Amino acid sequence: MLLKRLIVCLDVRNGRVTKGVKFKGNVDVGDPVEMAAQYCADGADELVFYDITASAEHRCCDLDMVARAARALSVPFTVGGGIRGVDDMRAALLAGADKVSLNSLAVEHPEILTTGAKAFGRQCVVLGMDAKRVPKTTQIPSGYEVVIRGGRQPTGRDALAWAKEAVDRGAGEICLNAIDTDGVREGYELPITQLVSTAVPVPVIASGGAGHPTHLVDVLTKGQADAALIASMVHTMGFTCGGIKQALRDAGIPMR
Amino acid sequence: MITILDYGAGNLTSVRLAFERLGVTPQIITDAAAYQGGRILFPGVGSAASGMDGICNRGFDRLLRDAVAQHGPVMGICLGMQLLLTSSEEDGGVQGLNLIPGACTHFDRQKDPTAKIPHMGWNTLQHQAHPILYNVPQDSAFYFVHSYFVTPANPTDVLGTTEYCGERFAAVIGHGSLIATQFHPERSGEAGAKLLENFLTWEGVCS
């Protein structure tokens, strides 16, 4: 039986893990690889590293960190942030990453999804998408707009339509982050998660809003997500991967 | 000694590092002439056609045939498993190495419209006793990433199965000194490490 996945996200700023609230204000919580190894030992099924300062500094994600992570981790991990094209994707994969997450770049240059999928296989092309609640319009019928540049820049595009297009172009997985709930810790944004997850034929990772194991139960059942991404729950709120997974198992969700 | 075949299909970093975590430093070769003996690890991520081209261009097809003929332990992973069979329907049809009779086919979403393809994530393995699966508990979870699956012609070549998309497919196969997994042991936590460790001590004999 295919199991649901618990994925831990580490936002890396200048080589350190930080946790922000709605992309504003960040607190230092530790060394990314040391933390990731600990989460891996505690049962995390997958890890994601976002180099959140790479884009602004016009550089690829920290490849030394990727190489260190590859050495330390025995479960898959994704890297994102600062990927400028197929050469950066190749560098990240060669350094040992299993998947590369593309966000703003994919919106502005969607052909990268196709190029990346052809070069490395669609299984390593993850579409990272930030979606924001907006009034439903003919242009944005789902009521969720794609935003880029860390949530600062609206695109005028419908999140559901973009998810479908990205998969047609080559994305093998979607990490769907809800801007409105991100960092708020009161639960995932279930409606858009369910909309996207049932509309695309690739796995969907729900992100943004986890503050309690029941939030993961909700997004993996009602939200129909294939995986749930968490950050501050384990970084700063005192939950453990093992404890969260046990709570999910107790709720009848199949976990490793 | 363990030798990893580099034929340009996917990166070998994670396989190499998984063995290094077990305290073993694999030799990575890009040409059959560089082979110095020992067990062979045949990895692979990518498409069947380009993978097969890469294997033949480097003389790895003969190397694998010779190793199997001499009962040397060989382990295939993912694409490295699929190419051991007779044929694959990927890329419009590709002739495989035919070291294990059988075929490789695409998952059929009509059998389960809710199943997502690729089959990506952790899934459970039900398996028979075999030295390579020693001390791996039933229903252990392993990490899979694939859209095609293999069906050996001889059911006794199937050592372990997993359920997905309306199929109970072969997740571990073996024939003589040849063993192969559809999942990625190098990315499967402790269970995967156990399997790789078992491979390091297996002499390719199955009684």
Per residue in A15-33, pLDDT (tens digit) is 999 766 555 667 788 999 9
Q: What residue of A is the nearest CA neighbor of B115?
A: A201
For position A118, what pLDDT does the model report?
85
Per residue in B162-173, pLDDT (tens digit) is 999 999 999 999
Q: Residue B207 pLDDT > 60, yes or no?
A: no
Q: Residues of chain A with pLDDT > 90: what percent?
A: 85
Q: What residue of A is the nearest CA neighbor of B9?
A: A120
Per residue in B127-166, pLDDT (tens digit) is 999 999 999 999 999 999 999 999 999 999 999 999 999 9
| Mean pLDDT value across residues A216-222 | 98
> Between A112 and A61, where is the model more confident?
A112
Chain A to chain B, count of Cβ pairs less than 8 Å apart? 82
A5-250 has which CATH code?
3.20.20.70
Contact A1, A250 (CB under 8 A): no
Q: What number of other Cβ atoms are within 10 A of residue A186's Cβ?
A: 10
For position A110, what pLDDT does the model report?
98
Q: Residue A56 pLDDT > 90, yes or no?
A: no
Backbone region of residue B11 per phi and psi (left: phi > 0; alpha: psi in -120 to 50; beta: other values): beta
Q: How many residues can be counted in chain B?
A: 207
Q: Give residue B82's Cα distance to chain centre.
A: 7
Q: Residue A135 pLDDT > 50, yes or no?
A: yes
Q: Residue A80 pLDDT > 90, yes or no?
A: yes
| Mean pLDDT value across residues A74-79 | 98
Q: Residue B67 pLDDT > 80, yes or no?
A: yes
The CA distance from B48 to the nearest CA of chain A, in Å, is 12
- CA–CA dist B30, B5 (Å, integer): 6
Q: Among the listed ranges A9-23, B48-62, B75-89, B161-175, which one has the minimum average pLDDT value?
A: A9-23
| Domain edges within chain B | 2-201
Per residue in B106-131, pLDDT (tens digit) is 999 999 999 999 999 999 999 999 99
Q: Among the listed ranges A163-167, B42-46, B64-68, B86-90, which one has the minimum average pLDDT value?
A: B42-46
Structural fold of domain B2-201: Rossmann fold (3.40.50)
Q: Give residue B23's Cα distance to chain centre.
A: 22
The CA distance from A140 to the nearest CA of chain B, in Å, is 26
Average pLDDT across chain A, whole number:
94
Per residue in A228-250, pLDDT (tens digit) is 999 999 999 999 999 999 999 99
What are A's interface residues with B at a Cβ cutoff of 8 A?
Answer: 1-3, 5, 40, 45, 70-71, 74-76, 93-96, 98, 120-124, 172-173, 201-203, 226-227, 256
Q: Which residues of A159-174 are buried (b: 16+ CB within 10 A; e: fewer)?
A: bbbbbbbbbebbbbbb
| Domain edges within chain A | 5-250
Ordered alpha helix ranges (H), A222-253: 232-235, 241-250
Helices (H) and strands (E) in chain A, counts: 10, 12
For position A19, what pLDDT does the model report?
67
Q: Residue A112 pLDDT > 60, yes or no?
A: yes
| Token pair recorded at residue A228 | 């749930």
- Selected catalytic residue, list A11, A62, A88, A218: A11
Complex prediction ipTM = 0.92
For position A21, what pLDDT does the model report?
59
Average pLDDT across chain B, whole number:
95
| Token pair recorded at residue B15 | 């396989």
Contact A43, B141 (CB under 8 A): no
| Mean pLDDT value across residues A57-86 | 94
The CA distance from A5 to the nearest CA of chain B, in Å, is 7
Would residue A182 show up in a list of annotated catalytic residues for this protein?
no
| Mean pLDDT value across residues A36-61 | 93
Q: Residue A65 pLDDT > 60, yes or no?
A: yes
Q: pLDDT band for B45, please (50, 70, 90 cuts).
A: confident
Residue by residue, DSSP assigns B56-123 as: HHTTHHHHHHHHHHTT--EEEETHHHHTTEEEE-GGG-EE---SEEEEEEE--GGG-TT--SSEEEEE
A203: nearest CB among B120, B186, B190: B120
Interface residue B70 vs chain A (CB under 8 A): no
Cβ–Cβ gap A70/B20 under 8 Å? no
Per residue in B16-31, pLDDT (tens digit) is 999 999 999 999 999 9
